[in-house]
Chain A
Amino acid sequence: MSTEDTIKISAKNVQVHYDDTHAIKDVNVEIADKAVTAFIGPSGCGKSTFLRCINRMNDTIDICRVTGEILIDGEDIYDKRVDPVQLRAKVGMVFQKPNPFPKSIYDNVAYGPRIHGLANSKSELDDIVENALRRSAIWDEVKDRLQAPGTGLSGGQQQRLCIARAVATEPQVLLMDEPCSSLDPIATVQVEELIDDLRKSYCVVIVTHSMHQAARVSQKTAFFHLGNLVEFGDTDKIFTNPEDPRTESYISGRIG
């Protein structure tokens, strides 16, 4: 990728501790806007932890301490004046396990716009919901049963519903923690296409365990190992010509 990419998120000297566990060790990274960045690495290396730093979901964990700076559009999101609630409206998140609200499909998607006052009328809200569902490639499957409970969908449908829910609030950054881990290959392809499409409007960060997926959907890849950011660069380069021996052995399946 070219160097003229605008930087959306930049992390400086980020350290995360859970009590005594040092989960993220001095991570510096710059994440480009309108691109997909993949976080890969063996289990327990801190990918989710770092992802959750970006929308301050770690605040909800009492024992979690974050130090360092994370700038979004040049503003430190850990500044005292930043309200994490406002931040999370701007930085949407899709979780590893699909977690729709036990409400109707419509209400699931409409919840974010409602609490943020994005729609002035019922028809505007209808449009937002339809739009979000269409972009998440699930509209055709649910358009006839918008009032049915979201929890009654299949796992893959639920995950796409959760993506629609995140998209509906018009975030600028979309964080996805292993969004395809509970999906079958067909749904995975659908979600990957969706991610590729979302890239046009958002800065997308995705955690994945699948090398192929990272290679398919991302432009940049970050490899984490034991809390360290070992290597970060263009996806093509990381997968074809990694600099660090640890990256190479992970990609070729020797550690993990």
Chain B
Amino acid sequence: MTAPTLKIENLKLGFKNWAGVSNVLHGISLHIKKGERVALVGESGSGKSVTARIVLGMLQQLKTARISGSVEFEGINLETLKPASRHALRGTRMSMIFQDPTSSLNPVYTIFALFKEVLARAEPGITSERARQRAIEALADVAINEPERVLDSYSFQLSGGMNQRVMIAMALANNPALLLADEPGTALDVTVQAQTLKLMSELVEKHQTSVLFISHNLGVVREFADRVYVIYKGNIVEQGATAELFANPQHPYTRALLSAVPRITGGGIPDLDDDPGQFLAPLVAHPSYSEKERLA
């Protein structure tokens, strides 16, 4: 049995401030098997983005961050790596897609300049010719039919949807093992978001890329993810295979979430009246999932 691509165990995070430490993650555990697409769903501020940032090692350098627990990537505990080796994983074995593609692409450099920089992460000293050729191939994968024009453009000259395709192409260009998609394309309009997600979905399937799909859109999660973790205030409250979790939510928070969402449109996370008494009830792990776990 090969090691899971990502295995987070009892991850805790707090931020030190003048009043002491405010805890943001209270010991979350999750894992993603090779080629699996796992969603992390929760309302804004529940700790989704910080989880992704810890996986990339970006919060560790923050002096105020207090982190404990373990993060294993392809069977290696990342804490045991030297900072340089850990840094070397970014943009090569792990990559990330963001909420707003247009503002995630530096406005003073062409798409090609950025693309080359990304490619150089895996292939230092890559020549411009080779980078261009590889970028064109990568753009073809995301169904961009004028790659030359796109490469010579700046992000502000392209549409949001085009930038999102570029971002997806960049994220997958170095064939990473893990893709962290933090509310990808939430800033885009709904149809464009759906198109680009479909593209991303096909590509990760083709390359057997594992995905941590962060979202607060239950409709999108339902379509895209194999498995779902529901996070509430830094606690995973329910986990299970997508179909099962949606069909048979057990945890009070998940139930409240699902019953509040219009079934057909399946929009974003609704505004729930907070009810920590119930919502902080213990984790519910769906049995089928636990069985699979035992087999794994």
Decide whether A and B assemble into one complex.
no
Residues of chain B whose beta carbon lies under 8 Å from any beta carbon of chain A: none
Chain A residues in contact with chain B, CB under 8 A? none
